[in-house]
Amino acid sequence: MAAMYQVITPQKPAAILKGVGPKMAEKLSSIGIETVNDVLFHLPSNYENLSIMNLADAENNDRVTVMGTVMTEPAVAYFRGGKNRLTVFMEIDGIYVKVTFFNQPYLKDKLIVGEEVRLSGKYLRHKLEINGQRLIYEAGGGYRVTYPMGKVMHSKTFNKIVAEVFGGFSFNYDIPETVRDKYRLLSMREALRRIHFPKSPADIKEGRRTIKFYELFMFQLRLMERRQKERVRNERYIIDYDIDELKAFIDTLPFGLTGDQKKCTNEICRDLKQNVSMHRLLQGDVGSGKTIVAGIAAYAVKTIGEQTAVMVPTEVLANQHYQSFTDTFEDRLTIAKLTGTTTRKEKMEISSRLESGEIDLIVGTHALIEDDVLFNRLSLIITDEQHRFGVNQRKRLNDKAHRKNVLYMTATPIPRTLSITTFGDMDVSIIREMPEGRKPVETYWRRYDEVDEVMASIESEVRSGHSAYIVAPLIEESETLDLKNVQEIYHLFLDYFGEEQVELVHGRMKPAEKNEGMGRFERLEKPVLVSTTVIEVGINVPNATYMVIFNAERFGLSTLHQLRGRVGRSDMQSYCALISDPKTENAKQRIDIMTSTTDGFELSEQDLEMRGPGDYFGVRQSGLPEFKVADLAEDYRILEHARLSAIELSGEMRKET
């Protein structure tokens, strides 16, 4: 398959181009340009339109190229450090404008009262000023193209070298013609020509559109290749589960599955039954009911006498999953739990029961990957919030598999663009639909001086037997005055509700202490839980109807959404109060978004827009490639088309979610 950024093959060194001698080749090499293809894909960073426009049509801050008459003698003012500014008044398209040039005192001789000159610069419309860039002597219109060249050579010189490539070589890679026709794309040669030698704004736009598509298309092709490698086909991957037994089990559930749950269950079961190793991501907002879907898969595996491991990032989450699996399966499955706090004796006992095959389903933390934990026939590995585990940790567990089937679950709604890119080599199942009867969490924003009002409404919830989460962001004494720390907030609630109603849990506590506190809240012995974000993942108290988040501006959208997902887990109306005095525009925007939607996918799209894709999982983990023209956050539509085209091309016509 063709490599990215190679449209002329075989590769040739830039030095063979006319006008590129050894000296020049060395200079080019110093900015990473080694080959003829490198020259072609070293794209302009800026364009200056030399065609004259009418100043009256320009907006504030526009870069303009205009023609006007010099009205006054230019005056040059000198400042400290040798800097200077030239000021001249001009009449341009009937507008009397003050034009300034920084550090170009020699222009004084070129600006003669009564004469016409052409110039480019930035128009400050409301001040009737132009920050002059330069005087223009080139004849005619067209574009002046600037390349990122460091101090290596003039853009003009480089542009000539580019022209040599067009003169001397034929291009031998293109996006397939059917795809080009469908999306009205240019040939690579034409697209690059327009980008390097534009004659109109449309040239630049169309050229760039084709190059964007090219980048995303090549990228998707590479992902497809990787995916085909992952989806190993082998008879031994067939898990011929007992469908009748599975159906009988689903019938025992106290609720009917939602449409999306059914769809995802089918997708997973199809993977199990096929001769491929499963490599699937199950995505669904908090509370959308992923656990039961995973449970059904585990049950399918058990019907052929094999085992499932569920690995989760925290002890709290392990406890919760263990509880919910035992509640769901009762004695249909033999379930065990293994975490960092499991005693040695217990661990040895669990290990031997795993090895003998007595245990069908094990829920655990990192403890599961340790070498002395052995399985009889581990055939399904489910990882929750997989991005919290390192690649090696996942691999160590996967290596224990008898048949490698991997299901990743995440409640972090991943914007479609990112799931395509980051998880492009996985199959994706999505639960969008919430279980019936769920009411969206009513979310509102209050300032600190309105906390009393929030207290009163929490009190009325508590009085009707419901519980409330209070989240504070910090444990230490806060540095800034307005930042409420968890102790302070704890006392605020103690004063209001009294000790027998309020529980405190924070990240600095010992795990045992934390679990006790959490337990009292979960068993509804105490209705108000003040905590740091340790409760972010996992805890499930359907009785809770109130979430209060202090210093809400300190949290990112996805954290806020995760926190809010702790309430609204029953058919009771729930509430979320964001307490904040936001200082920045960005913080205000995040709070506005939170109060306007409860849809995790919509939130994640907005989050992506605000933060950019690199920040989404942290740059390191995202593994996102850098493109020259394409922008993953902006060009997601092109990405989708490029993906479809790549799938068609690589002959993978399997149905995509």
Residues that bind ligand ADP (CB under 6 A): 255, 257-258, 261, 284, 286-292, 411, 435, 540, 569
CB of 294 to ligand ADP, least distance (A): 8
Distances (CA, A) of 650 to 27, 176, 474, 556: 40, 12, 50, 38
The site partner of 312 among Mg ion, ligand ADP, none (C-beta below 5 to 8 Å per kind) is: none
C-alpha torsion 445→448→449→450, nearest 10: 30
Q: CB 381: neighbour CB atoms within 10 A?
A: 23
The site partner of 261 among Mg ion, ligand ADP, none (C-beta below 5 to 8 Å per kind) is: ligand ADP
If the CB atoms of residues 75 and 524 are measured against ligand ADP, the closer one turns out to be: 524
Burial class (CB in 10 A: 0-12, 13-18, 19+), 164: middle
If the CB atoms of residues 334 and 543 are measured against ligand ADP, the closer one turns out to be: 543
CB of 607 to ligand ADP, least distance (A): 19
Residue 502, C-beta contacts closer than 8 angstroms, at least 6 positions apart? 490, 493, 494, 526, 528, 529, 530
Residues binding Mg ion: what is the number (CB under 5 A)? 1
The site partner of 287 among ligand ADP, Mg ion, none (C-beta below 5 to 8 Å per kind) is: ligand ADP
DSSP per-residue string spanning 158-219:
HHHHHHHHHHH--------HHHHHHTTPPPHHHHHHHHHS-SSHHHHHHHHHHHHHHHHHHH
In this structure, what token pair is assigned to residue 111? 């600006």
If the CB atoms of residues 288 and 443 are measured against ligand ADP, the closer one turns out to be: 288
CB of 230 to ligand ADP, least distance (A): 25
CB of 518 to ligand ADP, least distance (A): 16
If the CB atoms of residues 339 and 551 are measured against Mg ion, the closer one turns out to be: 339
The site partner of 258 among Mg ion, ligand ADP, none (C-beta below 5 to 8 Å per kind) is: ligand ADP
If the CB atoms of residues 155 and 324 are measured against Mg ion, the closer one turns out to be: 324
If the CB atoms of residues 283 and 291 are measured against Mg ion, the closer one turns out to be: 291
Listed in order, strand segments (DSSP E) in 2-94 are 46-49, 63-70, 75-78, 84-92
If the CB atoms of residues 561 and 643 are measured against ligand ADP, the closer one turns out to be: 561
The site partner of 255 among ligand ADP, Mg ion, none (C-beta below 5 to 8 Å per kind) is: ligand ADP
CB of 327 to ligand ADP, least distance (A): 8
Does position 485 bind Mg ion by CB under 5 A? no
CB of 148 to ligand ADP, least distance (A): 46
The phi, psi pair for 200, rounded to 5°, reads -155, 165
If the CB atoms of residues 287 and 613 are measured against ligand ADP, the closer one turns out to be: 287
Alpha-carbon span 622 to 536, nearest angstrom: 21
Residue where the block lists tokens 């805890």: 539
In this structure, what token pair is assigned to residue 513? 């202490």
Q: CB 457: neighbour CB atoms within 10 A?
A: 15
Burial class (CB in 10 A: 0-12, 13-18, 19+), 395: exposed
Interaction mask 279-298, Mg ion, x per CB under 5 A: ------------x-------
CB of 540 to ligand ADP, least distance (A): 6
If the CB atoms of residues 291 and 429 are measured against ligand ADP, the closer one turns out to be: 291
CB of 572 to ligand ADP, least distance (A): 13
The site partner of 78 among Mg ion, ligand ADP, none (C-beta below 5 to 8 Å per kind) is: none
CB of 290 to Mg ion, least distance (A): 6
The site partner of 135 among Mg ion, ligand ADP, none (C-beta below 5 to 8 Å per kind) is: none
Question: Residue with CB nearest ligand ADP?
Answer: 289
The set of long-range contacts for 649-655, using a CB threshold of 8 Å and a minimum separation of 24, is 649/176, 649/179, 649/221, 650/221, 650/224, 650/225, 650/228, 652/224, 652/227, 652/228
The site partner of 435 among Mg ion, ligand ADP, none (C-beta below 5 to 8 Å per kind) is: ligand ADP
Taking 3-state DSSP, the helix, strand and coil percentages for the chain, each rounded to the nearest 5, stand at 45, 20, 40
Alpha-carbon span 147 to 164, nearest angstrom: 16
Contact 407, 382 (CB under 8 A): yes
CB of 238 to ligand ADP, least distance (A): 28
Alpha-carbon span 348 to 50, nearest angstrom: 78
If the CB atoms of residues 35 and 265 are measured against ligand ADP, the closer one turns out to be: 265
Contact 302, 444 (CB under 8 A): no
Q: What residues from 287 to 346 belong to the interface with Mg ion (CB under 5 A)?
A: 291
CB of 550 to ligand ADP, least distance (A): 24
Q: Report residue 512 CA to chain centroid gap.
A: 35
CB of 414 to ligand ADP, least distance (A): 14
The site partner of 284 among Mg ion, ligand ADP, none (C-beta below 5 to 8 Å per kind) is: ligand ADP
CB of 394 to ligand ADP, least distance (A): 19
The site partner of 562 among Mg ion, ligand ADP, none (C-beta below 5 to 8 Å per kind) is: none
If the CB atoms of residues 121 and 284 are measured against ligand ADP, the closer one turns out to be: 284
If the CB atoms of residues 292 and 646 are measured against ligand ADP, the closer one turns out to be: 292
Alpha-carbon span 310 to 321, nearest angstrom: 9
Q: Which of 338, 333, 335 is nearest to 318 (CA)?
A: 338
- Helices assigned H by DSSP within 231-330: 243-251, 259-273, 290-302, 315-329
Residue where the block lists tokens 């293109």: 174
If the CB atoms of residues 282 and 579 are measured against Mg ion, the closer one turns out to be: 282
The site partner of 250 among Mg ion, ligand ADP, none (C-beta below 5 to 8 Å per kind) is: none
Q: Footprint of Mg ion on this chain (CB under 5 A)?
A: 291
